[in-house]
Amino acid sequence: MTMVVSCKHVTKTYQQGPVEINALTDINLDIKRQDFICLSGPSGSGKSTLLNMIGGLDEPTSGEITVDGERIDLMNKSQLATMRLNKIGFVFQAYNLIPVLTAQENIEMVMQMQGVARQQRNQLSSEILQEMGLAGMEQRKPSELSGGQQQRVAVARAIVGEPSLVLADEPTANLDSHNAENLLDQMRHMNEEHNMTFVISTHDPMIMERAGRLIKLHDGQIIDMIDQNHR
């Protein structure tokens, strides 16, 4: 089976003043299609760094990262941007949406950049909003949406282009438990019904609970990897 993501001996060190900080040390990780992976660990354990690394937002100090069979650690900025545009959907903890665009425009933005025709865009965005339970919110600006709604729009935008991989960095951190559960339901739904691959970093025990695979990080190293799919 081909891997969506493959990390080999990935190491990241930051220079902070005179001190060298090991953010990630010798990470080896394979992510398969339709995985639903949860990265967990205390603050500073390297979850976000790993996520950023896979998304091509940050470069490894050493090691190889392959996304869909392509070595992204060898790509330049412009290639990385194209890779992100076409293969990766991002969901962040907050500030996911462009404030001057409506919910629908935010969702269509990526497709617009990909060159999807207007009619198709409209159709897809309407469908996904419907599916995410956001029907009727199309013309609202982010400031007119609740936190939970905003995150759902962010997920909708992340998946609408049918990327190979959705990366979510603490997507439920700013949500109450009801909204968090709702969001997780949507993500699992997309994972199961549309065969999408998710990598989520989180502190949220509920997400850890329902993840297919739980990867525990500590001080930049993978200390445990639990397959929960067949539990």
Interface with other proteins (CB under 8 A), residue from 2, 16, 78, 143: 78
Site for other proteins in 8-67 (CB under 8 A): 48, 52, 55, 57-58
Q: How many residues bind other proteins (CB under 8 A)?
A: 33
Cβ burial of 50 (10 Å; 0-12, 13-18, 19+) is: buried
Provide the 10 A C-beta neighbour count for residue 176: 12
What's the token pair of residue 130?
């419907």
Smallest separation, CB 92 to other proteins (Å): 7
Range in contact with other proteins (rule: CB under 8 A) among 17-25, 39-47, 113-121, 214-222: 113-121
Is 168 in contact with 200 (CB distance < 8 Å)? yes
Query: What letters, b where the CB count within 10 A reaches 16 and e where it falls short, cover 150-169?
Result: bbbbbbbbbbbbebbbbbbb
**Rounded CA separation 182/132 (Å):** 9
Burial class (CB in 10 A: 0-12, 13-18, 19+), 8: middle
Helices (H), ranges, 88-137: 103-114, 118-131
Q: Could you say whether residue 109 binds other proteins (CB under 8 A)?
A: yes
CA–CA gap between residue 165 and residue 182 (Å, rounded): 21
* Minimum distance of other proteins from residue 57's CB (angstroms): 4
- Do 23 and 13 contact (CB within 8 A), yes or no? yes
Q: How far is the CB of 220 from other proteins (least distance, A)?
A: 16
Nearer to other proteins, 172 or 214 (CB): 172
Contacting residue, 101, 210, 218, 226, with other proteins by CB under 8 A: 101
| Among 21, 74, 113, 135, interactor with other proteins by CB under 8 A | 113
Q: Which stretch binds other proteins (CB under 8 A): 78-86, 175-183, 184-192, 217-225?
A: 78-86
- Cβ distance to other proteins smaller for residue 158 or 214: 158
Interface characters, 147-176, with other proteins (x: CB under 8 A): ----------x-------------------
**The one among 9, 71, 118, 194 contacting other proteins by CB under 8 A:** 118
User: Which 8-state DSSP code applies to residue 39?
Assistant: E
**Interacting residues with other proteins (CB under 8 A):** 48, 52, 55, 57-58, 77-78, 81-86, 88, 90, 92-96, 98-101, 105, 109-110, 112-113, 115-116, 118, 157
